[in-house]
Chain A
Amino acid sequence: MHRRGVGAGAVAKKKLAEAKYKERGTVLAEDQLAQMSKQLDMFKTNLEEFASKHKQEIRKNPAFRVQFQDMCATIGVDPLASGKGFWSEMLGVGDFYYELGVQIIEVCLALKHRNGGLITLEELHQQVLKGRGKFAQDVSQDDLLRAIKKLKVLGNGFGIIPVGGTYLIQSVPAELNMDHTVVLQLAEKKGYVTVSEIRSSLKWETERAKQVLEHLLKEGMAWLDTQAAGEPQYWLPALFTELYSQEITPEEAKEALP
């Protein structure tokens, strides 16, 4: 009798699978995928429930956001990876950070001609808050840092440089290596640095110090004061505290994105 191919084929496949996995309880990838699909649906429901109760908490409470982000990072989940992710769709975390990203880009662009593309986290925070207006949700420095980390992928040179207890945010694709960042950190204390200070603090030779300073000058991140008593001083406009209180002028705003 001629058995139908279907039956024979299924039997053959099953035998092959059994042969491959002699250990009891070994599960195939397809089976796990089906399991994952079910678990995903359940998770989505759980998340919806969580969102209905606590969505406001995330929107309003920066400390809660930090906790949320840290927990995600610990288990290996990035809630900001995609606007299409569950976290973003249901908790609204995505929109909060992606919009913040836009605001950060605009502030950095508007001030770039002043500070060469380097800005302190404090000043960025102030300017972003100003731009958001009185009735917008509160934004913490932690929020800014997370938004900036996501912006890096756009290839515009966004970087975060730790200096003296705070951070400098870089928003231009200028190459800043370890030597440059170390000099920036040294300059952070007074807002400027000299060749002698670099030599005595970092034990570098003059040539190395000069190269770094000239690079910063070229990139517009440092300004040279040759009239200072003693030797020339290299100032970082990013660290000028007077700039904090200045508004972004209409010209600067126009230069920013349309």
Chain B
Amino acid sequence: MDRFVWTSGLLELGETLVVQQRGVRLSDGEEKVKFDSGVLLLSTHRLIWRDQKNHECCIAIPLSQIVFIEEQAAGIGKSAKIVVHLHPASSNKEPGPFQSSKYSYIKLSFKEHGQIEFYRRLSEEMTQRRWETMPTGQTIQVNKDPRAGRIRAVGIVGIERKLEEKRKETDKNISEAFEDLSKLMEKAKEMVELSKSIANKIKEKQGDITEDETIRFKSYLLSMGIANPVTRETYGSGTHYHMQLAKQLAGILQTPLEERGGIMSLTEVYCLVNRARGLELLSPEDLVNACKMLESLKLPLRLRIFDSGVMVIELQSHNEEEMVASALETVSEKGSLTADEFAKLVGMSVLLAKERLLLAEKMGHLCRDDSVEGLRFYPNLFMTQS
């Protein structure tokens, strides 16, 4: 702790703030010191700590003093920490809170979390060493004691004030936001209770509810993100939204499917559709629920689920079983193929290539050779040459 110097906490010209974190305690090696609760700021040049209760109390250490840093994971009753190992203090160092220390390292305790992000940023700064390339302006402190009046240069005043305001504003915003959030959640909770009650009554048939009303109920659940208490699915299948979505998908996916041999995995579809939308994206569940309706709506696409759980969208005209016949030809030509090799040859994704080969195997056309070198498929000679 004797490497620290008193500072005003003002950033110098050319020095930029990288990240800050509240609720940080400093320790001198293994010993606790009075710097119990403060805001830790990382700039391109220094590590600054300011006491949360007494803003005048502010100390800093140049990043160039740091030898290396380590993470210490949180434990029971203990916050996560960063251990900072330091070079010895230089003899012409400015005054700081400690004249001497028997430790050559300090610990930063993150009582309000933020350690992972801070560590990442600090590591980056240590790698980039921006303090070497970014010259800072003259330090604006002529008077070294921060408690006596501060001598400020023009321009720095504005920066400091903005930082301070931003900090206060952020603090205020967050506590207000949390308060408002709690109130909102109370109301949401009432909705959840009400929906459970309704679902129970539907089950016990207390009051006749029409099919239309059932659909309405499901759409209410969808809006609130409440799991359908009856089916446990968070969409309430068969809402109008999903029906519309299914029809849209049929339009959007026709060409891409044709370009990809009539079949696409659901993850491919998810990415394709959302990249195209840009805004108002679909949730994975929205996509699945819409796809589940494709067949019943008699659209030209369908959802298919393989034994492995892999889900794909196929053109109705696509016949995977027919594709298996051509796959068999390809494998026979080459003698044997792995999913990777087959995928490259045919120009499809490895995932779908594997599914096709597995299907061919299931239909008895291919045999597998499963070894540590991978899964390889051969034509099933037991069938053809008996």
Q: Residues on A close to B: CB < 8 A?
A: 17, 20-21, 26, 28-33, 35-37, 39-40, 42-44, 46-47, 50, 53-54, 57, 61, 63-64, 67-68, 71-72, 74-89, 94-95, 98-99, 101-102, 105-106, 112-113, 140-141, 150-157, 165, 172-173, 214, 217-218, 220, 224, 257-258
Structural contact, B271 and A106, CB atoms closer than 8 A:
yes
Q: Which of B114, B184, B225 has the most CB of A within 10 A?
A: B225
Selecting from B139-147, B305-313, B317-325, the interface stretch reads B305-313
B279 and A95 contact, CB distance less than 8 A: yes
Q: Does A29 lie within 8 Å of B192, measured CB to CB?
A: no
B281 interface contact, C-beta 8 A = yes
Interface residues of B in 126-177 (CB under 8 A from A): 173-174, 176-177
Residue interface mask B209-228, A partner, CB < 8 A = 1:
10001001100101111110
- Determine whether the beta carbon of A40 is less than 8 Å from that of B223: yes
Bound Cα distance from A173 to B207, whole angstroms: 45
List 6 A-B pairs, minimum CB-CB distance, nearest first: A28-B207, A155-B311, A81-B234, A29-B201, A98-B281, A29-B207
Determine the distance from Cα of A39 to Cα of B177 in the docked complex, in whole angstroms.
Answer: 22
Residues of B within 8 A of A63 (CB): 113-114
The answer to whether B372 and A29 have CB atoms under 8 Å apart is no
B77 CB to closest chain A CB (Å) equals: 17
Contacts of B234 in A (CB 8 A): 78, 81-82
Q: Is there an interface contact between B288 and A153, defined as CB atoms closer than 8 Å?
A: yes
Task: Judge whether A102 and B188 touch: CB under 8 Å.
Answer: no
Residue B270 is within 8 A (CB to CB) of chain A in the complex: yes
B74 to chain A, nearest CB (A): 10
Within the complex, the shortest CB–CB distance from A137 to chain B, in Å, comes to 13
Docked CA distance A98–B267 (Å): 12
Assess whether A21 is in contact with B275, with CB atoms less than 8 Å apart: no
Determine how close the nearest CB of chain A comes to the CB of B19; give it in whole angstroms.
10
Contact of B116 among A82, A85, A141, A155 (CB under 8 A): A141
Contact indicator per residue, chain B 192-214, by CB within 8 Å of chain A (1) or not (0): 10110110011000111100010
Decide if the interface of chain A is mainly helix, strand, loop or mixed. helix
- CB pair B311–A154 under 8 Å, yes or no, is yes
Whether A72 pairs with B177 at a CB distance below 8 angstroms is no
Check A105/B270 contact, CB under 8 A, given A33-B198, A64-B174, A98-B283: yes
Tell whether, in the assembled complex, residue B116 and residue A76 are in contact, meaning their CB atoms are under 8 Å apart: no
Contact A105 to B198, CB < 8 A, known contacts A151-B284, A156-B266: no
**B225 pairs with A36, CB closer than 8 A:** no
On whether the beta carbons of A57 and B173 are closer than 8 Å, the reply is yes
- 30 A-B pairs with CB atoms under 8 Å apart are A17-B207, A20-B206, A29-B209, A32-B201, A33-B213, A37-B216, A43-B191, A50-B184, A63-B114, A75-B189, A76-B189, A76-B192, A78-B234, A81-B225, A81-B227, A81-B285, A82-B222, A84-B223, A85-B225, A87-B225, A98-B284, A99-B281, A101-B274, A102-B270, A153-B288, A157-B308, A173-B308, A218-B371, A224-B372, A257-B268
